[in-house]
A and B are shown apart, each in its own frame.
Chain A
Amino acid sequence: MILGDLLDAPVSGPSGDRLGYVVDVRFVLDGPLDGLLASPRLHGLLVSPRTGTSFLGYERTGVRSPALLARYYAWRHRGTFLVRWEDVDSVAPGAVRLVDGYRRFSPALHGPV
């Protein structure tokens, strides 16, 4: 799977209701050791209900400057949530479907960004 096919894909709930778009994909460096580093394991999808782009990540970090941009982008991406990979039912080109009973988590990043 090419990640570009997943980014910006529409996300729907178990009943087919539109939830938003994949604005980013979260990986964690805790997969099987592959060479010099651990493999980045796909941890979850960041879903924003309003837009297909979130390239600056203001809604995920504590960055507050420049203030005007930070406020605008944080507002624009309000409602963004993280859904874990195990809560993804199926991935088809241009469509992501979540399982019944999927859970939403805060998209916040911890530690250095």
Chain B
Amino acid sequence: MSDLPEDRRPAGRVLDARLHLLDRQILDVDGTPVCTVDDLEVHGLDGSDLPGGTQQAVITSLLSGAVLATRIFGGRPPASRWHRIRWTHVSDVGTTLRLGVRSEELDVTWQERWVRDHVIRRIPGGSHDPG
């Protein structure tokens, strides 16, 4: 594959951002789809926003937002438009990313809750379980 020397084998699981994280589906603790990983937020361990190689950096949040336009035309959404899911909530990384919390507790699903409360609930029969 390559004539270059092998890197030391790290103790933890290796994740390449594009290969294993970006665009993956995020499921909540009940298996309900929440959103996809559109980007990642990385900070230095000392909290710095633009860490250099002299200090360790870690993923602090998964980001989701309206990225369709920026993927077509370039650029990225302003920081205020991102919805953040703290890495603290992530419980497993596989084909999908699993969270340890319910989607209702996350800001990223506010639009679904708003439609449920202001639109669906006003439809006759929409405020109770059809069963």
Q: Which residues of A pack against B, CB within 8 Å?
A: 1-7, 23-32, 34-44, 46, 54-55, 57, 59-60, 62, 74, 80-82, 84-92, 99, 103-111, 113
Give which listed residue, B14, B41, B89, contacts A111 with CB less than 8 A: B14
Within 8 A of A (CB), among B11-27: 11-19, 21-22
Does residue B58 face the partner (Cβ distance < 8 Å to A)? Answer: yes
Within 8 A of A (CB), among B47-67: 49-54, 56-60, 63
B-side interface size class: 35 or more
Known interface pairs A24-B19, A104-B4, A108-B1; A43-B50 also in contact (CB < 8 Å): no
B residues in contact with A55, CB < 8 Å: 18-19
Q: Which residues of B pack against A, CB within 8 Å?
A: 1-2, 4-7, 9-19, 21-22, 39-43, 45, 49-54, 56-60, 63, 76, 79, 86-93, 100
CB-nearest residue of chain A to B45? A32
Give which listed residue, B6, B40, B45, B53, contacts A89 with CB less than 8 A: B53
Which has the most chain A C-beta neighbours within 10 Å: B53, B76, B93? B53
Given A55-B18, A106-B7, 12 more A-B residue pairs with CB atoms under 8 Å apart are A2-B41, A3-B42, A4-B76, A27-B15, A27-B59, A28-B10, A39-B60, A40-B59, A42-B59, A57-B18, A106-B1, A110-B14
Which 3 residue pairs spanning A and B have beta carbons closest together?
A30-B12, A35-B88, A88-B53
CB-nearest residue of chain A to B8? A105
Return B106 CB to nearest CB of chain A, in Å: 14
